[in-house]
Structure 1
Amino acid sequence: MAPDPQAAAAAVIAVPGIPRDHDGPVFREPWEAQAFAMAVALHARGLFSWTEWAATLAAEIKRAQAAGDADTGETYYRHWLASLETLVAEKGVASADTLHRYRDAWDHAADRTPHGMPVLLQPDDFHG
């Protein structure tokens, strides 16, 4: 899932702190780019404003720092993902329980997937 380049550029301008270089946002792992793209897509659909997003992200980072996050930049997209989950639940797109259920299923699927292979959800991933 790649975001529209103009939408991605707007996000970089609107949300301070996004890791970037002269070409735009940079990601250390594919999931970081996917989380970024999901937020850009949900913003484009009107789920939240960038001001609302930035406030939610700032609150998540502050919460993580209070819990001991060293704030070295390595966890930025973990905060991004937590903020995305917060807004999706607050806006009623999916409940927190549903999000946790899918997170657990993805963890289960990742555990059974050989390194380097795509992680694919199967019905059994939701049961254990």
Structure 2
Amino acid sequence: MSRPDGTAADLPVGLDAPVFAEPWQAEAFAMTVALHDKGLFSWGEWAQALSAEVKKPGAATDGHDYYEHWLAALERLLASKGLAARSDVDAMARAWERAAHATPHGRPILLENDPEFQSAT
């Protein structure tokens, strides 16, 4: 960013900080945008779902749990539209966790690494 005289302007404090604290947060954000782009929900529906989650009792006042609410809103919205049942989402999360524990350090985590993985072949 530069000033009218061509010299560099200092960015406001915090603008050089990463937007997402963890990779999963960026992925949840990207999934939400992609699902909206596919027409699965409107931004109004999304805003209502996220607002409902953020307003729930127990939300952190400093916002550190914002993307946890984001993910819960996405899961709830998809379930309400019959696109992904909560039980299916929970089962998939457990499968990925098992896969992560079964994957040697430094190797990619693949769902196939889940010891309970059943191929659809």
- Assess same fold via TM > 0.5: yes
1:104/1:126 contact within 8 Å kept: no
Q: CA deviation at 1:120?
A: 1.4
Aligned to 2:86: 96
CA RMSD of aligned residues (A): 2.4
1:57/1:79 contact within 8 Å kept: yes
1:124 match: secondary structure = coil
Aligned to 1:87: 77
1:106/1:125 contact within 8 Å kept: no
Aligned to 1:30: 23
Q: Specify whether residues 119 and 44 from structure 1 end up closer, same or farther in structure 2 by C-alpha distance, changes over 3 A only.
A: same
| Aligned mates of 1:114, 1:62 — CA distance in 2 | 40
Unaligned stretches of 5+ residues in structure 2:
1-13
| Aligned mates of 2:77, 2:109 — CA distance in 1 | 25
Q: Which has the higher helix share?
A: 1
1:105/1:121 contact within 8 Å kept: yes
Q: Specify whether residues 125 and 80 from structure 1 end up closer, same or farther in structure 2 by C-alpha distance, changes over 3 A only.
A: farther
- Find the structure with the greater CA-based Rg: 2
| Aligned mates of 2:81, 2:94 — CA distance in 1 | 22
| Structure-to-structure mapping, 1:1-128, within 5 angstroms | 21=15, 26-63=19-56, 66=57, 68-122=58-112, 124-125=115-116
The size of the alignment, in residue pairs, is 103
Q: TM-score, with normalisation over the residues of structure 1?
A: 0.68
| Aligned mates of 2:48, 2:76 — CA distance in 1 | 12
Unaligned stretches of 5+ residues in structure 1:
1-19
1:60/1:79 contact within 8 Å kept: yes
Sequence identity (%): 53
